[in-house]
Amino acid sequence: MEGFARTSLSSTSGAAPDFRGNESSLVSALKTLLFFTILMVTVPIGLYFASKAYIFEGSLQMSNSDSYFYAAIVAVLAVHIVLALFVYVAWNEGSTKDKGKHD
């Protein structure tokens, strides 16, 4: 039994795999994720308050309750646009790295 345990342990204790080639792609993916996370927080909130104050209440002279409703619609549209941009960038980021490997 001891011989079996020794051989099975020694066969699994080989050298650790080298992941240095994937490190740059991991850093790139994390930078992209961080960028879009910041966009996801700032853009909808900023557009909500800016459109409410300057467009709907300022230019269009809407009431306070109406401007809340339309500013929320603008914020929801901004969320969808940021999500669509994230999917587009993530999709193209993977395909451009694959093209470089085939050349």
Residue 42 scores a pLDDT above 90: yes
Report how far residue 3's alpha carbon sits from residue 57's, in angstroms, rounded to the nearest whole number.
81
pLDDT at 101: 56
Q: Provide the whole-model pTM.
A: 0.68
Report how far residue 89's alpha carbon sits from residue 85's, in angstroms, rounded to the nearest whole number.
6
Confidence of residue 20 (pLDDT cuts 50, 70, 90): low
User: Looking up tokens 């080639």, which residue turns up?
Assistant: 21
Query: What single-letter amino acid sits at 85?
Result: L
DSSP secondary structure letter of residue 85? H
Residue 15 scores a pLDDT above 70: no
| pLDDT tens digits along 51-92 | 999 999 999 999 999 999 999 999 999 999 999 999 999 899
pLDDT at 25: 83
CB of 82 closer than 8 Å to CB of 40: yes
How does the average pLDDT of the chain come out, rounded? 82
